[in-house]
């Protein structure tokens, strides 16, 4: 639990690709501690835009396990609550 939400756990994907999640704790140096609530919300809002077109990902290309488009469907109020919660993680 001393690393809760601090990332670093490997996700092994087909083709030998390994993805390591980022630190989403409020640590300013290694996490999202320098993000304002507005910056946090804007990260998700970008995937709500009708102009957003998903880019096909080929084997070996950079990919993410973050379900951006799914989470972008949440309300700003819900995303704000997530931000507020993440700010409490030590």
pLDDT tens series, the chain, 90 aa: 566 666 667 778 777 777 777 788 888 888 888 999 999 999 999 889 778 887 787 777 766 777 888 899 999 999 999 999 999 887
- Entry pTM: 0.72
CA dist., res. 82 & res. 44, Å (int): 12
CA dist., res. 12 & res. 78, Å (int): 30
Q: Are 72 and 79 in contact (CB under 8 A)?
A: no
């Amino acid at each position: 639990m001393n690393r809760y939400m601090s990332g670093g756990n490997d996700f092994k994907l087909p083709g030998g690709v390994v993805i390591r999640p980022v630190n989403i704790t409020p640590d300013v140096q290694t996490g999202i501690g320098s993000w304002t609530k507005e910056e946090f919300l804007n990260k998700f809002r970008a995937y709500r835009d009708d102009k957003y077109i998903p880019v096909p990902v080929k084997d070996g290309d950079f990919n993410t396990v973050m379900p951006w488009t799914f989470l972008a469907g949440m309300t700003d109020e819900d995303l704000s609550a997530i931000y507020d919660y993440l700010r409490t993680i030590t």
